[in-house]
Chains A and B, each alone.
Chain A
Amino acid sequence: MEMTTAGQASIRRRSGLVFKYLLLAVLAFVIIFPFILGLWTSFLPTTEIAKGSLQGHLSWQNYHDAFTQTPILRYLFNSLVISLIQMAAHLFFASIAAYAFVFLEFKYREQLFYVVLATMMLPFEAEVIPNFQTVRSLHLLDHYAVMVIPFLTSAFGIFMLRQAFKQIPWDLKEAADVDGLSHWQFYRQVALPYSKISLLTLAAYSFLGSWNQYLWPMLTTFSNRLRPVQDGLRQLHSEETATNWGLIQASAAIVVIPTLIVLFWGQRYFKSGLNEGSVK
């Protein structure tokens, strides 16, 4: 009798396992299908795609065309520059502001913090009209600066790093005071190293946020020389879709592959960060 129960249990476990893998495979297929289709068609001749066919001679032709006939590389470069600057600015300005909210004593500290917190509630999309007028009057239109200056700091970043800095034992600050470290030294030598994971998370968040900007660059940049990649694709799409699907798919693939690589490479670090946080 005991053998049958044990045997049944193992059969049930095995069929359960098959079901689990089946479910995983179906879900994974649904998630990844748009990528696969996009990648596949990016290797097909446009004439075949236009006929609705998903077969044909595979070649790098579309990629060759994208690199030579469109400013896609320039778009990528623009986005990279803008995103890196914005990321660095967020890390620096948000971290010193957060430092002030945690380690400095001054009047209205809590009130000011709530003011910063309040800005997280206000959607940028609802403020584009005056902002557009502001950058126009500053003659910043169609310039890298227009995509950097309004986003030099991040209320979210200040909030997040404030939480991180609050985890630093107050003893460390007192010990540093005894040793005579200045605020700048304590910031550089203790606060930043102590909050590495939060800083990395903010860096990723800021980079992706900037990379995915769409509305603001669309309003403020008009030339291919400065256009970041999201609006570059928008441009290509509006110019080429009707005629050249292969080229569009290849451009989309060129844009998505670097971010996917960054994501998969960074995921390990992101996960280890998560794990570190969950260790009891």
Chain B
Amino acid sequence: MISSLRPSKRRPQPQLTPETGSQVTAGIKNFELKRNDKYYAWLFLGPSLLVLSIFVFYPMLRTFYLSLFLTDNFGRPTVFVGFQNYVNLLATKSYLASLQATGIYVVGVATFTIIVGLLLAAVANQKIKGIEFFRTIFTSTMGVSVSVSAIFWLFMFNPSIGILNKLAVGLHLPVVNWLTDPHWAMVAVIMTSVWMHLGFTFLIFFGALQSVPKTLYDAADVAGTNSRYQFWHITLPMISPTLFFVAVITLISSFKSFGLIDLMTAGGPTNATNLLVYRVYRDAFVDGNYALASTESIVLAVIIALITLIQFKLLAKRVNY
């Protein structure tokens, strides 16, 4: 009671603009360095850093180092040749063919995975009875490992007893030598790879579609748009970060498609599916040419690192459109 009778001292009212506001919080966030944090940090980070150093950083440097030498049968460097391995590699016709095959493969897999995955997600994103059942089926290829996929599809591609050729006969279409014809072999591995990627892609796209606010479509309904217009002008722009994410993930995973190639074509026929990653293995562990394989490894690593880097950059920029 008494205090209220006193003339109140008027406090200066600070002009709170966003700029001064952030300065204030930055000042408060002046953490004290705690002494024992340092020891904890080494304890907590130590194991991870050790493993990453030995099995990621060292081998990368070592691979690069080997790529500058000629090597013996055990992979020991012998003669320093500088970048001569790279020069030779890019002059090798079959390597350029591998680069091209890899390009066709990764772009093919990514394109079809995205189109079909998006179609599945769009179809599954409706409220009708029994839709859960279909969603489960669409997710199912996520649980299939590479060797199982390869075996299932190898059986279907079998030229004499495979279902695909039997179907072709039934429909009076020409029979295809799926895995022994260079062109069709590429088609076959792309098909199998797309099928394998679909479960994961579907799940990601489905999540993205579900996270688009329903009111955006309500508003567009009121504005007088049909569902096709809404797909192109709302859905696609809204999920474009996801689209991009899936594209990069699928590209990278396709660059690393080793098991599928090994099981289905072993790089053949006539190197038609001899992807970069499979070449590395063949040159190193079959032919014992470690210098060449190291050079090829570095090229592969650079390509994948670049794609990842673009992803990081764009992701940081586009996260909020």
Contacts and interface: CB of A to CB of B under 8 A. Distances in A.
Interface of A: 17, 20-21, 23-24, 27-28, 31-32, 34-35, 37-38, 41, 49-52, 54, 93-94, 96-97, 99-101, 104-107, 109, 112, 116, 119-134, 149-153, 155, 158, 183, 211-212, 214-215, 218-219, 229-231, 233-234, 237, 241, 245, 248-249, 252, 255-256, 259-260, 262-264, 267, 274, 278
Contact of B141 (A31, A37, A123): A31
B189 interface: no
Given A153-B52, A262-B143, A263-B142, A32 B137 contact: yes
Nearest 4 Cβ contacts at the A-B interface: A214-B259, A263-B143, A130-B59, A127-B59
B144 A256 contact: yes
Interface string B250-281: 00100110110011000000000000010011
B285 A219 contact: yes
B84 interface: no
B290 A129 contact: yes
Contacts of A97: 44-45, 47-49
Contact of B66 (A94, A107, A130, A150): A130
Interface string B162-186: 0100100000000000000000000
Q: How large is the interface on B (under 10, 10 to 19, 20 to 34, 35 or more residues)?
A: 35 or more
Given A106-B38, A252-B147, 7 more contacts: A24-B124, A27-B123, A35-B152, A52-B161, A129-B293, A237-B150, A278-B210
Interface SS of chain B: helix, strand, loop or mixed? helix
A230 B258 contact: no
A121 B311 CA distance: 10
Contact of B56 (A37, A119, A230): A119
Contacts of A212: 145-146, 259
A251 B138 CA distance: 23
- Output the residue of B152, B277, B281, B309 with the most chain A CB within 10 A: B152
A134 B63 CA distance: 12
Contacts of B123: 20, 23-24, 27
Interface SS of chain A: helix, strand, loop or mixed? helix
Interface string B128-160: 100100101111111111111111111110001
B128 A20 contact: yes
Interface string B108-121: 00000000000110
A121 B149 CA distance: 27
22 contacts: A20-B123, A24-B131, A31-B120, A34-B149, A35-B152, A52-B160, A52-B161, A121-B304, A122-B301, A126-B60, A127-B55, A127-B59, A129-B66, A129-B297, A134-B59, A215-B259, A230-B259, A249-B155, A255-B147, A255-B148, A256-B144, A259-B143
